[in-house]
Amino acid sequence: MRQPRDIQRRHPGRKLATRVLHSASSVDAHTGASSIPLYQASTFHHASLEHPPEYDYSRSGNPTRQALEDTIAELEGGARGFAFSSGMAAISTAFMLLSHGDHVLCSEDVYGGTYRLLTTILGRMGIETTFVDMTDLDQLEAARRPNTRAVFLETPSNPTLKITDIAAVAEWARKHGLLTMLDNTFMTPCLQRPIELGIDIVLHSATKFLCGHSDVLAGLAVVANEKLGHQLKHLQNALGSVLGVQDAWLLMRGMKTLTARMECAERNARRLADWLSRHPAVSRVYYPGLPGHPGRDIHERQAHGYGAIVSFDVGTGARAKQVLERVTLPLVAVSLGAVESILSYPAMMSHAAMPREVRLQRGIGDGLLRYSVGLEAIEDILEDLDQALDEEVRAACRD
């Protein structure tokens, strides 16, 4: 099967919008078909025991899944890619590179599922975690221990969209011999490529923007070098939390429209963030594209856009729930990154696993809402949200 590195060598100047359509998943090398087949097989015939086939058992490798893995490696600029049954399966497998007694430094306002993994599972296995404000390198250095082995980042963070200087953290970690991992779900390789900035492992909940259609559960990982690739391949095979071929095929199909979807969703998000920043019922808006957003200059150096996630605070949990009950256009749901808008309530959804006092310390208040902006007409998005933030809510906010 055609390898993504070969494509890059032949056409190094091609833009990502072109490469996402002309990648390892674009043409079947055996038949010329414009779509990679679904190899719905659990096992593969050994024609010769002396010369084993490339694929022997689908947990260890499958041609459909391989096409997806080669594609994400190409788009992220990494050495190898790996597909898992969910974003948390990808993150959990990456953390299995660590051992009992190791210590992790993690972004303090990390996704709730990652927080749960680190605190309730890896902690029980003897892997300790310190949550740090990654925007402050002095705090990072102060939290480092002799047994620190890895740094885990989210930028923009979920859900307050704090910005971490990726290159600075990667350089600091490299100086101390630390493994770096970054969750790139919000940005996708369209807008941010952390491996080019020095990160060792990039992770995605591919359920979100990469798939984009709310119909697949998947996770992806990309490593910066072959050594890490061999290690992660061993873990993927040993743990077995691989992505099935049906979901791999659907994910590849969704990724073909990634750049077009991201461009449209980001345009809408910019309009929404600006509108919310002037709305009397909203006390604060979190979006990297707004003037005055902390870390905006850093974000603009390391990313190619601001993304499609806008968080905003309406003051109290009661007001947030009132908005959730009144909107008619977005899904009120867990998840993000779909063609349709999704409005989430972090306190009871994405960050429900985080104790309330911890949430509040990290700036995730009871009045915070997270809007994943979809592809609807922006006028309809604004009109719907305006009726949800009606005069009764505005009056309550003024009291």
Are 295 and 177 found together in one domain? no
Angle at 376 (CA atoms; ends 374, 379), nearest 5 degrees: 120
pLDDT of residue 20: 87
Domain hosting 310: range is 259-398
Q: Which of 102, 165, 183, 200 is catalytic?
A: 183
Query: Most distant CA pair in the chain: distance in Å?
Result: 80
Name the active-site residue from 39, 111, 115, 345.
111
Number of structural domains in the chain:
2
Q: 82 φ, ψ to 5°? A: -140, 140
**Do residues 185 and 232 both lie within one domain?**
yes
Contact between 9 and 76 (Cβ < 8 Å)? no
- CA-based nearest residue to 367, from 334, 325, 318: 318
292 and 245 in a single domain? The answer is: no
- Looking at the fold, whether 243 and 326 belong to one and the same domain comes out as no
Sign of the CA dihedral with 373 first, then 374, 379, and 380 last: negative
Q: Are residues 166 and 236 in the same domain?
A: yes
Residue 73 CA to residue 84 CA, distance in Å, equals 14
CATH number at residue 156: 3.40.640.10
Query: Catalytic annotation on 116?
Result: no
Do 269 and 234 belong together in one domain? no
Question: Residue 225 in contact with residue 19, Cβ under 8 Å?
Answer: no
Q: Residue 390's pLDDT is what?
A: 85
User: In 3D, which of 53, 70, 1, 7 has the Cα closest to residue 32?
Assistant: 1
Q: How remote is the C-alpha of 228 from its chain's centroid?
A: 20
Residue-wise DSSP of 279-329 = -TT-SEEE-TTSTT-TTHHHHHHH-SS--SEEEEE-SSHHHHHHHHHH--S
Report whether 340 contacts 217 (CB < 8 A).
no
Same domain, 67 and 209: yes
pLDDT at 192: 98
111 catalytic, yes or no? yes
Catalytic residue among 59, 253, 267, 394: 59
Q: What is the pLDDT of residue 65?
A: 97
Q: Which of 255, 284, 311 is the last residue of a domain?
A: 255
Residue 240 pLDDT level (bands cut at 50, 70, 90):
very high
Respond yes or no: is residue 39 known to be catalytic.
Answer: no
Q: For residue 304, what pLDDT band results from cuts at 50, 70 and 90?
A: very high
Average pLDDT over residues 353-375: 89
Q: For residues 164-192, give the mean pLDDT.
A: 98
| Catalytic position from the list 162, 208, 261, 270 | 208
Q: Are residues 249 and 287 in the same domain?
A: no
Q: What is the pLDDT of residue 5?
A: 39
Above 70 in pLDDT, residue 1? no
Angle at 141 (CA atoms; ends 139, 143), nearest 5 degrees:
70
Higher pLDDT, 373 or 354: 373
Residue pLDDT, tens place only, 105-149: 999 989 989 999 999 999 999 999 999 999 999 999 999 999 999
Q: Is the pLDDT of residue 394 over 60?
A: no
Pick the last residue of a domain from 234, 255, 276: 255
pLDDT band at 337 (very low <50, low <70, confident <90, very high): very high
CB of 108 within 8 A of CB of 153?
Answer: no
What is residue 395's predicted lDDT score, i.e. its pLDDT? 55
Are 141 and 216 within one domain?
Answer: yes
Last residue of a domain, one of 223, 255, 287: 255
Whether residue 102 sits in one domain with residue 162? yes
Kindly state whether residues 117 and 169 are assigned to the same domain: yes
- Considering the domain architecture, whether residues 238 and 282 belong to the same structural domain is answered as no
Q: What would the pLDDT profile of 262-274 be if each residue is shown by its tens digit?
A: 999 999 999 999 9
Sheet holding 201-205, edge to edge: 80-84, 219-223, 201-205, 179-183, 148-154, 103-107, 128-132
CATH code at 312?
Answer: 3.90.1150.10
Q: CB neighbours (10 Å) of residue 283?
A: 16
Q: Is 261 a catalytic residue?
A: no
Q: Is the pLDDT of residue 48 over 70?
A: yes
